[in-house]
Amino acid sequence: MTKLLRLGFFAIVIRTLMVLVLGLNVRGREKLPAKGPAIILANHNSHLDTLSLMSLFPLSSLDSIKPVAALDYFLSSKPFAWFALNIIGILPINRKGGGNPLAGSIEALQNGDILILFPEGSRGLPEEMSEFKRGAELLCKMNPQVPVYPAFMHGLGKALPKGTWLLVPFILDIFIGEPFTYQDVGKKFMTRLQDDVQALADQGNFPAWE
């Protein structure tokens, strides 16, 4: 039942939202992996970032796409937690409790899943990139052969920024970059990632948003 709800949610609600209400302009969609294990690393502007990235994959692979999200934020209220875990299908990480917070992610990669991570941590100021944190690097270091896909997103910070629930339609740009692995780049991982995402951002011609 929940599975059906989830499929319906992505097939109808999310498709309509992404294609008709907002509109997607995707570059490099063909680069996205058909199968895991893989890690997608993107900048973070809005609640809808996760859903918009997930909408780029075919519905048949929905079960293997796992957005990694902080447990404490998403599990703050019961209905919200149910929605996040069962409908969106997040992979919760525990930032505060004991144990290895990355254990769940490593297991998912071993199962051949595709993880979505936002190395900026929080959504921050809309349409401004903040510095990437080390958590993502750590995960990649522990899985050095898993390909990493840099992604840049623009538009959702205008459509649905932090602190508001009023959705104002804007076309959403998603640029996917060339994949690389931790093994390829080693210690320069963070610089490489940040440079790649910045290079993708520079491809766009975005109007001012003051």
Partner 1 sequence: MTLAGMAAWFNVAQPVLITVLAIYGLLIIASLITWWLNVRSGGKLAELTARVKSWWVMITVFALAVFISQGLSAIFLGLISYLALKEYFSMIPTRRVDRSVLFWAYLAVPIQYWWAYTDWYGMFVVFIPVWMFLFTPVAMVLLGETKGFLRAVGTMSWGQMMMVFALSHTAHLLYSGDKIETPAGGAGLLLFLVFCTQFNDVMQYVWGKLTGKHKIVPTVSPNKTWQGFIGGLLSTMLLSFLIAPYLTPMSGLVAALAGGMIALSGFLGDITLSALKRDLGAKDTGALIPGHGGILDRVDSLTIAAPVFVHFMRYFYY
Q: Which stretches of the chain bind partner 1, using CB under 8 A?
A: 20, 22-23, 25, 126, 155, 158, 164, 166, 168-171, 205, 207-210
Task: Phi first, then psi: give them for residue 69, nearest 5 degrees.
Answer: -140, 155
State in angstroms the smallest separation of the CB of 19 from partner 1. Answer: 9
- Residue closer to partner 1 (CB basis): 26 or 142: 26
- Residue closer to partner 1 (CB basis): 172 or 197: 172
- Residue closer to partner 1 (CB basis): 30 or 210: 210
Beta bridge partners of residue 119, listed in sequence order: none
- Residue closer to partner 1 (CB basis): 76 or 164: 164
In whole angstroms, what is the distance from residue 53 CA to residue 45 CA?
Answer: 12
State in angstroms the smallest separation of the CB of 39 from partner 1. Answer: 27
List CB contacts of 149: < 8 A, sequence separation 6 or more: 31, 32, 33, 38, 39, 40, 41, 176, 177, 179
List CB contacts of 31: < 8 A, sequence separation 6 or more: 149, 176, 177, 178, 179
State in angstroms the smallest separation of the CB of 27 from partner 1. Answer: 9
* Distance, first Cα to last Cα, the chain: 45
- Residue closer to partner 1 (CB basis): 49 or 173: 173
State in angstroms the smallest separation of the CB of 203 from partner 1. Answer: 13
State in angstroms the smallest separation of the CB of 53 from partner 1. Answer: 18
Q: What is the amino acid identity at position 43?
A: N
